[in-house]
Amino acid sequence: MTAQYGPHRWSAGVHDDGRNAEHRGASFLVRDLTGARFVDCDLTGVKIVDSWLVGVELSGFVGGLSVNGVDVTAYVESELDRRHPERVQLREIRDADGFRAMWTELERLWSEATARAEALPEELRQERVDGEWSFVETLRHLVFITDSWASRTVLDDPAPFHRLALPQTAYAPADAAALGMDVDARPSYAEVTQARADRGAVVQRILDGLTDQDLGRTCSRTPAPGYPEEDRAVADCLAVVMEEECEHLRFAQRDLAALERRP
């Protein structure tokens, strides 16, 4: 096969509070933005001039990022690939066996991460580091990813969502509730790992029976209400599942390292 399955970008379930576009095209002249936080924002085309960027941290989908006239995008991507070779493995998938091998590697890496988490007390597994999702919340989000991009699309299940599934921050809470998700739930680590194991078994069953011919099959059901109404191939849906697993593993490893440094 010649197709390549790798990182994807999509948007869905945007929580529109009537102010989403109020700063589009805005100029901030001599403004103090110390400590400002931008979450799930579209910063396409943003230009920062004659400003102080000290201790700034960026994460997300990055393309065409220039710092003082130097495009650093390729450097950032290559460094991430060096630190996380599973990203390269994902991009190089060409067939059903490639997806199976990718899932095996992800299960191994997540097993290592959960072992680290289980060495911590429950309160640290529930703690957010610098405002990011806690380890438990990250696992809840991956339950949502499996429900939406594997069960609902590939398996065509119209209502697969676990009560503890946690959609992306921009997904309207009322829409999540209508699908049976309790975004305000505070489950234990044990409860979430059980849901996570159940969803992992769903992915494994799909992969066990997957053939190269299946990869091009069209999935007509959207991952969740609010996503663009368009056909998606099985391969693309599975690639999203595995990309999310890769990226959230990276975030989890980063935050686990911070929690492990606690006295």
Closest CA to 59 of 152, 131, 107: 131
- d(C-alpha 35, C-alpha 33), whole Å: 6
Confidence of residue 38 (pLDDT cuts 50, 70, 90): confident
Sign of CA dihedral 47, 48, 50, 53: negative
Q: Would you state the pLDDT for residue 4? A: 52
Judge if 200 and 151 occupy the same domain.
yes
In a domain, 6, yes or no: no
- d(C-alpha 196, C-alpha 107), whole Å: 12
Q: Would you state the pLDDT for residue 170? A: 85
- How is residue 205 written in tokens? 């069953």
- Average pLDDT, integer, range 245-257: 97
Judge if 32 and 152 occupy the same domain.
no
Q: Would you state the pLDDT for residue 18? A: 60
The tens digit of pLDDT for each residue in 142-191 reads 999 999 999 999 999 999 999 999 999 889 899 999 999 999 999 999 99
Residue-by-residue DSSP string for 22-72: TTTT----S---TT----S---TT----S----S----S---S-EETTEE-
The tens digit of pLDDT for each residue in 106-131 reads 999 999 999 999 999 999 999 999 99
Judge if 246 and 210 occupy the same domain.
yes
Number of structural domains (the chain) is: 2
Helix (H, G, I), strand (E, B) or coil at 129: coil
Q: Which residues have CB under 8 Å from 200's CB, separation 6+? A: 107, 146
pTM of this structure: 0.85
Query: Can you give the length of the chain in residues?
Result: 263
Q: What is the CATH number of the domain that holds 239?
A: 1.20.120.450
What does the mean pLDDT of the chain come to? 90
Confidence of residue 5 (pLDDT cuts 50, 70, 90): low
Q: What range defines the domain where residue 217 resides?
A: 93-260
Residue-by-residue DSSP string for 189-240: HHHHHHHHHHHHHHHHHHHHT--TGGGG-EE-S-SSTTS----EEHHHHHHH
Judge if 58 and 75 occupy the same domain.
yes
* pLDDT surpassing 90 at residue 238: yes
